[in-house]
Amino acid sequence: MAARGSNSRARQRSSTALSSHDYRLLAEFRYLLAKFLAFSEAAAQAAGLSPRQHQALLAIKGFADGTDVSVGDLAERLNIRHHSAVGLVDRLVASGYLLRRSDPHDRRRIFVVLTLAGEKKLAALSAIHRDELKRLTPLLKPLLAQLAATSERDTLKGPG
């Protein structure tokens, strides 16, 4: 219990040590993230997917090659409850973007696999997302470098 209290005090100390420059950097970073997320949501909807459906397809494709992706893995990756992932998978299967496959060793466990239609939909969306990230890179790079430099200075300074 004492550790929790001291952790809280340390967080309070570090948050009060932020400069106005730190706040500007954090605000700009938050702004750029919000712009990218708004872009991503609009692109998914224009492609006929909900943002969460797009995230699911990307998460599945993003697992290492040859890795079986269970519904539980998907729930973990999307930070949603298992039953929500089941509903999401149901909708993607009904749309023809995913297939379900039972685990041959544990029939209770279900794996999900992109269909050819899911692969094509994701490839088109991923290409425009990559282009948008390339567009934002010149804005993000210096911002991230400044944040990293600020973190290094804070580390060298040590606690308050």
Task: Name the pTM for this structure.
Answer: 0.79
Q: What are the tokens at 117?
A: 């239609």
Residues belonging to the chain: 160
The amino acid that residue 158 corresponds to is G
Q: What is the pLDDT of residue 92?
A: 98
24-157, CATH topology level: Arc Repressor Mutant, subunit A (1.10.10)
How many percent of the chain have pLDDT more than 90? 68
Query: Over the chain, what is the mean pLDDT?
Result: 88
Taking the C-alpha atoms of residue 39 and residue 140, their distance in angstroms, rounded to an integer, is: 16
Q: What backbone torsions phi and psi does residue 108 show, to the nearest 5 degrees?
A: -75, -20
Question: What is the edge-to-edge ordering of all strands in the sheet holding 110-114?
Answer: 69-70, 110-114, 98-102
Band (64; pLDDT cuts 50, 70, 90): confident
